[in-house]
Amino acid sequence: MQKILISSCLLGEPVRYDAKGTPLDHELIRLWQAQGRLVAVCPELLGGLPAPRPCCEILGEGGGAAVLAGRARVMGADGSDFTAAFIAGAQMVLELAHTSGARLAILKERSPSCGSHIIYDGRFASRRIAGSGVTAALLEREGVQVFCEDELAAVAS
Ligand code: SF4
């Protein structure tokens, strides 16, 4: 059975910037977990960041793809530049996709790493814009299909 990458926070692991999880209570998640199909990943922890850590947003246009191309940065609310850690984490998740054979990923929407349709605009003002996070952009570029937590039915089909 094909493996599916999933954001660790969606399984309730306390890996978010605020050291909390955002558990997804859904029968498909329970089924895939029981089948051993889920590969939990937190790109920001894989990139070497701790939990808790400063809340981060992508500064500059183009979202995660622009970060990967060196045209945008990932900044913390404290003014620190976290770009290198975010790119390193994305690369580690891609490596895990290769080693596990996963061609699908369920990633947490709105995160500067995991968002696949919506991210924040980089001004730390809770303003949402269309765009992908760094890991979602890298996975999509490399042929891994990325879905958000509201698209489980599409993953199952
Ligand atoms: Fe969840 Fe992704 Fe943020 Fe890690 S980087 S806490 S997996 S949204």
Give the CA distances from residue 113 to residues 10, 92, 145, 153, in Å, rounded to whole numbers and listed in that order.
14, 12, 15, 22
DSSP label of 152: H
pLDDT in tens, 103-132: 999 999 999 999 999 999 999 999 999 999
CA of 71 to the centre of ligand 1 (A): 22
Q: Tell me what pLDDT residue 1 has.
A: 86
**Residues with C-beta less than 6 Å from any ligand 1 atom:** 7-9, 15-16, 42-44, 108, 111, 113-114
Mutate to test the pocket of ligand 1, among 6, 8, 119, 148 (most ligand atoms within 8 A of CB): 8
β-pairing verdict for 4-7 and 104-106:
parallel
Asked if 63 and 72 count as a contact pair (C-beta separation under 8 A), the reply is: yes
pLDDT in tens, 64-108: 999 999 999 999 999 999 999 999 999 999 999 999 999 999 999
Among 139, 118, 136, 137, which Cα is nearest to 127's?
118
